[in-house]
Amino acid sequence: MTFSIVIATYNRAAVLRDTLASLARLTTAGPWEVVVVDNNSPDDTRQVVEAATATFPVPLRYAFEREQGRSAALNHGFRVATGDIIVTTDDDVRVEPGWLNAIETSLETLRCDYVGGRVTPIFEEPSLPNWFPPHSGLLWGVIALLDYGPKPLKFGTRVPLGVNMAMRRQAIERAGGFDPTIGRKAGTLLGQEVREWCLRAHAAGLVGYYSPDIVVQHLIPADRLTKKYFRRWFYWRGISRAMLYADTGLDMEKPEQSSIDFTTVRHIGGVPRYLFRSALTAARDALAAVMRGDPVTAFDREMWLWTFAGIVRQRWIDRRRPIGLARAQRAAAIKETKGLSAEGAASG
């Protein structure tokens, strides 16, 4: 099996049906399969998958994951998938017939372990609000849109989106699956699981690239283009970044560029003191943008304040937890494993 497309879904049978119909039109020379992981849905998700199985052009497999959360569901899918290339996407996408071919070509030509691509919108409501930017940026990520430009780009300070991502099986075996503690769960907007995986992947020596040739279209319902949703999303982003900080000790503003030993930084209520200055700067910039009639910049800077609110909430909860403890434990485990391997080689 060359490709395994893994979809985690929760209570979205109606949109899943159309996504499966889009996937059924894929054309590729190698064998492939689709694994749909039902994350404990109360609707008729299973019936939708089973109905599509009869006419689906390749194996369409249904799996069930009781533990709530997108990361737990995807990890289940990774375990049952048989492909050499594991592709992740969502239950509300449309793809071109050559999508898998573009993934395979990108992995080969870029000589990398994982790839991500562009995610373009299909807006339910064609009239966009005046605060939503017309170009790719921070706010685009809220509704899982991505465009890093027309040329391939090595992932580092930028990361892919899970809606359009593919990994060699060996990459998952080396870096592990997604962290279920920070992935999306019903009733929350927790995130950062892809970012955290990329950090582990890079630490394991894996290389990833953005490829503009790998494209999916993502359905954007009207209720996602509201200020209420964006504020909630960024609040949960702050919570997720704070959880990642407690786990790894990496900068909550720019984890990939972290160069500070935060055990030496003064904290207020568990929050590094400099973040309060960042929040004041964001508030000043937002107010200045309002005064000059720039709704895009005003809302963009306001979003940092909602992120900061989430950080403050989660860091107060974790204020007595040692920073980076899990990262230190993982490093110790890796060191111990290498030591055992060396002993085994010596004794052999």
Ranges 275-279, 328-332, 334-338, most confident:
275-279
Rounded CA-CA distance 89/34 in Å is 11
Per-residue pLDDT tens over the stretch 203-254: 999 999 999 999 999 999 999 999 999 999 999 999 999 998 988 888 898 8
Using the predicted structure, report yes or no on whether residue 162 has a pLDDT greater than 50.
yes
Overall CATH class of domain 3-221: alpha beta
What is the residue extent of each domain of the chain? 3-221, 232-329
Using the predicted structure, report yes or no on whether residue 175 has a pLDDT greater than 60.
yes
Q: Assign 335 a pLDDT band (cuts: 50, 70, 90).
A: very low
Rounded CA-CA distance 295/119 in Å is 24
pLDDT, average across residues 163-171: 97
Using the predicted structure, report yes or no on whether residue 332 has a pLDDT greater than 60.
no
How would you class 329 by CB atoms within 10 Å of its CB: exposed for 0-12, middle for 13-18, buried for 19 or more?
Answer: exposed
Give which of 308, 237, 310, 245 is closest to 279, Cα–Cα: 308
At 302 the pLDDT is 97
At 346 the pLDDT is 38
At 187 the pLDDT is 73
- Among 133-137, 303-307, 309-313, the minimum mean pLDDT is found in 133-137
Return the structure tokens found at 112: 């990398």
Per-residue pLDDT tens over the stretch 281-294: 999 999 999 999 99
Using the predicted structure, report yes or no on whether residue 339 has a pLDDT greater than 80.
no
pLDDT, average across residues 302-321: 94
Pairing of strands 85-89, 3-9: parallel
Rounded CA-CA distance 345/281 in Å is 56
Return the structure tokens found at 27: 């054309």
Per-residue pLDDT tens over the stretch 109-120: 999 999 999 999
Q: Which residue has the higher pLDDT, 46 or 339?
A: 46
Size of the chain in residues? 348
Q: Residue 107 corresponds to which amino acid?
A: L
Using the predicted structure, report yes or no on whether residue 334 has a pLDDT greater than 50.
no
pLDDT, average across residues 318-345: 52
Contacts of 345 (CB under 8 A, 6+ apart): none
At 333 the pLDDT is 41
Using the predicted structure, report yes or no on whether residue 133 has a pLDDT greater than 60.
yes
Rounded CA-CA distance 17/203 in Å is 38
Q: Helices marked H in 12-137 — which ranges?
A: 13-23, 45-53, 70-80, 99-109
Q: Assign 326 a pLDDT band (cuts: 50, 70, 90).
A: low
At 231 the pLDDT is 97
Give which of 80, 105, 255 is closest to 172, Cα–Cα: 80
Rounded CA-CA distance 310/237 in Å is 7
pLDDT, average across residues 21-28: 96
Q: Helices marked H in 176-264 — which ranges?
A: 193-203, 227-248
Q: Assign 330 a pLDDT band (cuts: 50, 70, 90).
A: very low
Q: Residue 181 corresponds to which amino acid?
A: T
Q: What single-letter DSSP state applies at residue 170?
A: H
Distance of CA 6 to the CA centre of its chain: 14
Q: What is the pTM of this model?
A: 0.86
